[in-house]
Amino acid sequence: MTPAGRRIVAAAEELFYNRGITAVGVDLIAEQSGVTKRTLYNQFGSKDHLVATYLAERDQRWRSLVRATVDTCERPVEAVTAPFDALRTWSETNTRGCAFINALAELPDPSHPAHRIAANQKLWLLNLFKELATAADCSDPATLATQLLLLHEGALATQPLPIDTLSETADLARALVRASERPHQ
């Protein structure tokens, strides 16, 4: 990506996340990034592709943080709830809730490229929970993964409220994992 392209994505990310995807037009993005609309369209082709690029880059950063957090866990059973620890770190600078939930709400058409990225981010997390639960030898990893995803998404959805739900949600997630641990002989 060119330096102008990176400036466009950075401006778009700030604007889309803080104001909403549908509330922000390409004129404002071009102005904030210091480029012309023509440059924006030459780089991304359309606002839809710019939104998809914004979400794809955000998704890559989120996945990297989650994987790094998983990698710090000493035991597989601790890794199952690592995404909740990553969420605490992520939430320090992302206080308006989940960009992917917001995108799914604003872009309900499943054929929209950004909708697909947002939906795939949620499916990735579900699959990661299942993979981690399987590696930890938890009973019924698929059900546990769904329960953990619901808790994780609930913590994200309540993030903009003036209450801290993340601590209790992480505790509940750890309790679910402990309850699903198989006794070892």
Residue 184 confidence (pLDDT): 66
* Mean pLDDT, residues 85-105 taken together: 90
Instruction: Write the pLDDT tens digit of every residue in 64-77.
Output: 999 999 999 999 99
**What sign does the dihedral 10-14-20-24 (CA atoms) show?**
negative
Q: Residue 185 — very low, low, confident or very high, per pLDDT cuts 50/70/90?
A: very low
The CATH number of domain 52-180 is 1.10.357.10: yes
CATH architecture of 1-45: Orthogonal Bundle (1.10)
Domain boundaries, the chain: 1-45, 52-180
User: What is the CB neighbour count within 10 angstroms for residue 76?
Assistant: 15
Coil vs helix vs strand at 140: coil
Q: In this predicted model, what pLDDT tens digit does every residue of 114-158 receive, in sequence order?
A: 999 999 999 999 999 999 999 999 999 999 999 999 999 999 988
